[in-house]
């Protein structure tokens, strides 16, 4: 069955740098892939959705890419700020059903 892999180690970067987070999946390529942000003690909040034919999607300082050959999505935050510190989760459909599954998330720490 479909599995999602995100780097479990925290990403620690300096303010102003670009953060790049990785989401890999194992089986078939989904038509859509989503990214969420989660702060401690809160539910995840939707950030971006990218379709398989879009290759790249941008929203303000955020950029998502989707490479179906590599079975990978990259999530970039440019000009990072301490307020960007959070856990970032990717999600996609498990199979042809309506089961949206999540990766375990990568924690981002942005140092002032």
Partner 1 sequence: NAGVTQTPKFQVLKTGQSMTLQCAQDMNHEYMSWYRQDPGMGLRLIHYSVGAGITDQGEVPNGYNVSRSTTEDFPLRLLSAAPSQTSVYFCASSRRLPSDEKLFFGSGTQLSVL
Site residues, partner 1 (CB under 8 A): 6, 8, 30-32, 34, 36, 41-46, 49, 51, 89, 91, 93-94, 97-105
- Is the Cα torsion angle 54, 4, 35, 88 positive or negative in sign? negative
**CB 61 to partner 1: min, Å:** 19
Nearer to partner 1, 47 or 74 (CB): 47
**CB 54 to partner 1: min, Å:** 11
**CB 28 to partner 1: min, Å:** 13
Nearer to partner 1, 77 or 89 (CB): 89
What are the DSSP E strand ranges found in 7-105? 11-14, 19-25, 32-38, 45-51, 56-59, 62-67, 72-77, 86-93, 100-102
**Spatial contact of 46 and 36, defined as CB atoms under 8 Å apart:** yes
**CB 92 to partner 1: min, Å:** 9
Nearer to partner 1, 37 or 63 (CB): 37
- Beta-carbon contacts of 70 under 8 Å, excluding residues fewer than 6 positions away, are 24
Nearer to partner 1, 102 or 112 (CB): 102
**Residue whose C-alpha is closest to residue 75's, from 37, 23, 29:** 23
């Amino acid at each position: 069955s479909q599995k999602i892999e995100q780097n479990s180690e925290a990403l620690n970067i300096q303010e102003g740098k670009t953060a790049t987070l990785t989401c890999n999946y194992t089986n078939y390529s989904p038509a859509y892939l989503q990214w969420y942000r989660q702060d401690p003690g809160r539910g995840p909040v939707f950030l971006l959705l990218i379709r398989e034919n879009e290759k790249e999607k941008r929203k303000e300082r955020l950029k998502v890419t989707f490479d179906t050959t590599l079975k990978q999505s990259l999530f970039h935050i440019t000009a990072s700020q301490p307020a960007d510190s959070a856990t970032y989760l990717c999600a996609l459909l498990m199979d042809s059903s309506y089961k949206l599954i999540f990766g375990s998330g990568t924690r981002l720490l942005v140092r002032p």
